[in-house]
Amino acid sequence: MGLLEGQRALVTGGASGIGRATARRMAEEGARVAVVDIDADGARAVADEIGASAHHADVSSPEELQAAVEAAAAAMGGLSVVFNNAGVGNLSPLHEWDPDEWDRLVRVNLTGVFLGFRAAIPLMRASGGGAIVSTSSISGTRPAAGEAPYAAAKAGVAAITASAALEYGPAIRVNAVAPGMIRTALTEPLLQFIPHERERFEQSTPMARIGEPEDVADVVVFLCSPMARFVTGQTVVVDGGLTLHGSGVDGILRQLFPGPS
């Protein structure tokens, strides 16, 4: 029997990266899965691969996410596990952020998590409770220069996680994961643009490698499973030890934006 046998799980940002890896692992562990993503074709491809349902939604849209969560719960016959994972990133000196881009990062990375809670919790209560995990980041625990809106949003995810754990326990456990440098569509362009940083990350990480989406997926599955039955309100760092040395992308801003900033 799998760790999530009989669970009905929803994954946002499930079309790629950590979301895709987690949707796969949840299905392998016996859960029925709903894949939610703004990339409708990508969501469908993952869903077809694992026998899940696919739902299109921009997580920053209350109406779209509400409709997707309700449709997913209807397709699965309830909702007991949620992984609020969808996110976006960018880098810029603080005073040069375009307000619209600042708003986009905060809206997707933080408000999207709030909207996930808002849509899912009534359905989870109706199904008897369960577990929610959200994606924070080491940028929320050890910010680097250039990450202001992203870091602020990810720190906010840790805070909303703690608040929700206080509000919804014991029926619903609420935790977060804080990934480090993980090889995804979000990080690969950065590593390609500054190729020497790949070696630096490998050398400065005690586990001597860049993380894979499956490294985070396994922790998410654990947090959603009965094995984590006495764990709630926590943000679990999954970074191979990278932040033992400092922030995750320290020094990259000056490479991308040389000179006074």
Q: Is 227 exposed, middle or buried (0-12, 13-18, 19+ CB in 10 A)?
A: exposed
How many distinct structural domains can be found in the chain? 1
Separation of alpha carbons 237 and 180, rounded Å = 7
Residue 52 counted as domain residue: yes
The CATH number of the domain holding residue 63 is 3.40.50.720
| N residues, the chain | 261
Cβ atoms 69, 45 nearer than 8 A = no
pLDDT digits (tens, 9 = 90+) for 44-65: 999 999 999 999 999 999 999 9
Residue 118 counted as domain residue: yes
Q: Looking at the predicted structure, is the pLDDT value of residue 251 above 90?
A: no
Residue 23 counted as domain residue: yes
Separation of alpha carbons 256 and 39, rounded Å = 28
* Tokens 């960018």 sit on residue: 90
Q: How far is CA 47 from the centre of its chain?
A: 18
pLDDT digits (tens, 9 = 90+) for 145-192: 999 999 999 999 999 999 999 999 999 999 999 999 998 877 776 667
Catalytic residue numbers? 150
Separation of alpha carbons 100 and 172, rounded Å = 35
What is the maximal distance between C-alpha atoms in the chain? 58
pLDDT digits (tens, 9 = 90+) for 186-217: 777 666 766 677 787 788 889 999 999 999 99
* Tokens 């810029």 sit on residue: 92
**Between 195 and 104, the higher pLDDT residue:** 104
Q: Is 126 exposed, middle or buried (0-12, 13-18, 19+ CB in 10 A)?
A: exposed
261 pLDDT tier (thresholds 50, 70, 90): very low
Structure tokens at 9: 């799980």
Could you tell me the residue range of the domain that residue 123 belongs to? Answer: 8-256
Residue 2 counted as domain residue: no
Residue 45 counted as domain residue: yes
Residue 103 counted as domain residue: yes
Residue 12 counted as domain residue: yes
Residue 261 counted as domain residue: no
pTM: 0.92
